[in-house]
């Protein structure tokens, strides 16, 4: 259908309202060049009307802008402000990112202290802290430790100090022990490792709060309250035969894995057991120097050091647990009618059987000791019959009660006489050690074994008793 544009409106008015382009189109419709529907024509008319209105508004804006000042400086200022705003936001984001990163690093560092995943070469396998048997520890009256944070809260040391003390380094710049040697009674030198202050505090806490709460076999006589050399000797007085066996390298025979296994058996996780075992053990170390700096090089495996307060307690517990050394040797003694005790590394068997089964005892004893990871010092193994002098941990046990031998009493009396005559300094030089401390120590031994004799010495030499 062909539409005829409205002629009611003056063509000039339509031209002004709709614009030149639409006017041309309308003329083409009128002359028949375009054929549009009523709807198409209406849409076209409305569109050009709006377009013409917009053009008119633009013309007005152009006229207004012609009278204004140059806006280039204003645009530059806007652009400058926008750049500064972007830079400020970027700086804020950078600071925030650094803060988040720092917080994350601090969180990771704290977590490493709570549950370290590496404590040195050869000791960090399976270092997990999620297997604590809370019920088992509670029933045993032991502190429940899930992480080093718990350990720090229970003890007087911080988490980082526990990590520092337990970290195993093959080559270290610091040694946690003061190492020296002392002469053995029967020749040779004994290696002593005395823990320094911080390590001593840690070991003392483990001793008091964990080790001292574990049961000890009744036939263990050393390093226990209420027991001493005399109590050990009393078990073997007046016997027909006494057998004394010395264990070679007693403390060094107990290695790190065995100590860790002991703590694990009580309910501690692999991680906590590792830390506790590392604090209680150490390797032999030698000093070395490189570029003027001192280093301490570990030789071999970690073991219980002689000089740590935890070592005697750990050996007592290890030997006394059901199925282990003291338990097995006690059962052996009961079966063959022998009395058994152990004073540290000194094992003693005694019997009143005249035709004793000594060969069976020694054979089975050797097997048990070897099974338990220890070695007999054959040079110090002795079998003492009733007609011989029988000694147990330095005390003579041939009679009805332990005593110090007459020869030892005479030698000690002569020593004290020489001290009074020649002076402490001269005797110290002769002995190669502090004569006064030696005398006080030996007097303490006599007092332990034979108190009446010790009092006689004290009446004459009052300085023997330490104040």
Question: Digits of tens for pLDDT over the chain (467 positions)?
Answer: 444 555 556 667 766 666 677 677 777 777 777 777 777 777 777 777 777 777 777 777 777 666 555 667 767 777 777 787 777 677 777 776 777 677 677 666 666 667 888 898 889 888 899 889 999 999 999 999 999 999 999 998 999 999 999 999 999 989 999 998 887 766 677 888 999 999 999 999 999 999 999 999 999 999 998 899 999 999 999 999 999 999 999 999 999 999 999 999 999 999 999 999 999 999 999 888 888 888 899 999 999 999 999 999 999 999 988 779 999 999 999 999 999 999 999 999 999 998 779 999 999 999 999 999 999 998 889 999 999 999 999 999 998 999 999 999 999 999 999 988 888 888 888 888 888 999 999 999 999 999 999 999 999 988 888 76
- Which of 114, 133, 418 has the alpha carbon at shortest distance from 265? 133
Cβ within 8 Å of residue 198, ≥6 positions away: 157, 161, 165, 176
Element counts in the chain: helices (H) and strands (E): 18, 12
* 147 and 277 belong to one structural domain: yes
What's the CA gap between 148 and 158, in Å, rounded? 9
How many domains is the chain partitioned into structurally? 4
Task: Flag whether 344 is in a domain.
Answer: yes
* 128 and 162 belong to one structural domain: yes
Task: Flag whether 3 is in a domain.
Answer: no
* 203 and 161 belong to one structural domain: yes
CA angle 377, 330, 236 (to 5 degrees): 75
46, with CB counted inside 10 A (0-12, 13-18, 19+), is: exposed
Both structure tokens of 295? 């280093």
* 264 and 348 belong to one structural domain: no
Task: Flag whether 89 is in a domain.
Answer: no
Say how many C-beta atoms besides its own lie within 10 A of residue 201's C-beta: 15
Cβ within 8 Å of residue 113, ≥6 positions away: 148, 149, 159, 160, 163
* 274 and 178 belong to one structural domain: yes
0.85 exceeded by pTM: no
Task: Flag whether 184 is in a domain.
Answer: yes
What's the CA gap between 217 and 109, in Å, rounded? 43
The residue range of the domain holding 435 is 406-464
* 145 and 222 belong to one structural domain: no
């Amino acid at each position: 259908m062909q539409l005829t544009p409205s002629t009611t409106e003056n063509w000039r008015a339509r031209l002004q309202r709709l614009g030149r382009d639409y006017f041309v189109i309308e003329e083409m419709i009128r002359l028949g060049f375009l054929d549009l529907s009523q709807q198409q024509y209406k849409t076209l008319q409305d569109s050009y009307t709006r377009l013409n209105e917009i053009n008119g508004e633009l013309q007005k804006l152009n006229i207004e802008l012609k009278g204004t000042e140059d806006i280039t400086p204003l645009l530059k200022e806007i652009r400058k402000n926008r750049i500064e705003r972007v830079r400020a936001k970027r700086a804020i984001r950078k600071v925030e990112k650094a803060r988040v990163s720092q917080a994350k690093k601090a969180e990771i560092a704290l977590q490493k202290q709570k549950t370290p995943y590496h404590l040195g070469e050869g000791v960090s396998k399976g270092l997990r802290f999620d297997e604590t048997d809370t019920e088992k520890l509670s029933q045993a009256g032991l502190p429940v430790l899930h992480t080093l944070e718990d350990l720090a809260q229970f003890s007087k040391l911080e988490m980082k100090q526990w990590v520092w003390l337990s970290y195993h380094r093959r080559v270290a710049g610091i040694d946690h022990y003061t190492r020296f040697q002392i002469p053995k009674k029967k020749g040779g030198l004994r290696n002593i490792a005395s823990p320094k202050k911080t390590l001593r505090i840690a070991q003392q806490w483990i001793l008091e709060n964990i080790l001292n709460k574990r049961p000890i076999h009744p036939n263990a006589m050393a390093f226990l309250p209420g027991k001493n050399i005399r109590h050990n000797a009393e078990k073997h007085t007046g016997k027909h035969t006494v057998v004394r066996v010395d264990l070679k390298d007693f403390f060094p025979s107990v290695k790190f894995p065995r100590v860790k296994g002991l703590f694990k058996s009580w309910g501690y996780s692999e991680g906590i057991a590792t830390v506790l075992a590392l604090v209680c053990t150490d390797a032999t170390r030698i000093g070395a120097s490189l570029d003027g700096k001192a280093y301490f090089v570990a030789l071999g495996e970690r073991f219980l050091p002689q000089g740590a307060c935890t070592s005697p307690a750990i050996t007592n517990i290890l030997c006394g647990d059901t199925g282990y050394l003291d338990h097995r040797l006690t059962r052996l003694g009961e079966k063959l009618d022998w009395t058994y005790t152990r004073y540290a590394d000194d094992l003693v068997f005694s019997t009143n059987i005249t035709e004793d089964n000594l060969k069976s005892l020694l054979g089975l004893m050797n097997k048990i000791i070897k099974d338990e990871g220890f070695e007999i010092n054959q040079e110090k193994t002795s079998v003492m019959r009733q007609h011989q002098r029988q000694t147990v941990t330095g005390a003579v046990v041939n009679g009805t009660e332990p005593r110090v031998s007459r020869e030892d009493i005479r030698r000690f009396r002569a020593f004290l006489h020489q001290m009074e005559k020649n002076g402490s300094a001269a005797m110290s030089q002769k002995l190669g050690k502090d004569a006064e401390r030696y005398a006080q120590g030996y007097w303490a031994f006599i007092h332990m074994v034979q108190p009446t004799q010790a009092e006689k010495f004290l009446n004459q030499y009052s300085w023997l008793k330490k104040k």
